[in-house]
Structure 1
Amino acid sequence: MLSEKGKYASATENRRFVWAEIVWPLILEINDVAFSLEQYQKKRDEVCEKTNTKIGITSRGLVSLMQKGIIRKEDHLYSIHYRLIPYMRLKAECDYATAIHEVQFK
């Protein structure tokens, strides 16, 4: 299937979707900086079913978030970048633009 968008636009869209719909809501829900693959998959499945989104899109989005440094993977846990922890503690909204800005501009 060919996309109307270029590959970079698609990657950004996937990252934004996974961050806004899965990762950040999960972080706020569990009130922790780290989550397991199982927790991620449960949230992903709920979101994919609700939004009729293919799991492949979310997989690419998660990998892309790791490549950008917003999410780190250590052993069997994924964690958010340390600069995003204050947002979690305040239960603040942290959209993708804020996340990428915090991570890139140290």
Structure 2
Amino acid sequence: MLLMLSEKGKYASATENRRFVWAEIIWPLILELNDVAFTLKQFQDKRDKICKEQNLSINIPSRGLASLQQKGILLKEGTLYSIHYKLIPYMRLKAGCDYATAIREVRLK
């Protein structure tokens, strides 16, 4: 998956960044920790590892983290980030939870 500035508009790029950060960094981190919350340091360590493996700039995932907060998938409470409560069952089952599933669950009333 290649993420950079491209011919895409800013909204398509933002969505692509969110998808990447969710699929490659945050959801695997949640499953590794087996916890609904993580610290910024844990995110940064995972981000750095993924970026090094995929030869990406760390700027892309940093923007994706903020964007996931804006969408309500991630919540920030003090120094902790946590996933939306509707995503907890996926974590408990250690199930796959792609970005489309996450955004759909968060938007359901």
The answer to whether TM tops 0.5 is: yes
Count matched residues. Answer: 106
Find the partner of 1:12 among 1, 10, 15: 15
Query: d(CA) in 1 for partners of 2:14 and 2:99?
Result: 13
The 5-angstrom pairing of residues 26-37 of structure 1 reads 26-37=29-40
Structure 1: gaps spanning 5 or more residues: none
Partner of 1:55: 58
TM-score by length of 1: 0.97
Q: Runs of at least 4 residues of structure 1 off by over 4 A?
A: none
RMSD: 1.1
Partner of 1:73: 76
SS at match of 2:76: strand
Find the partner of 1:3 among 2, 6, 11: 6
- Kindly state the Cα deviation for residue 3 of structure 1 after the two structures are TM-superposed: 2.6
TM-score by length of 2: 0.94
SS at match of 1:78: strand
Q: Does 1:39 align with 2:34?
A: no
Percent of residue pairs bearing the same amino acid type: 75
Amino acid aligned to 1:58: P
Query: d(CA) in 1 for partners of 2:28 and 2:63?
Result: 18
Query: d(CA) in 2 for partners of 1:75 and 1:2?
Result: 32
SS at match of 1:54: coil
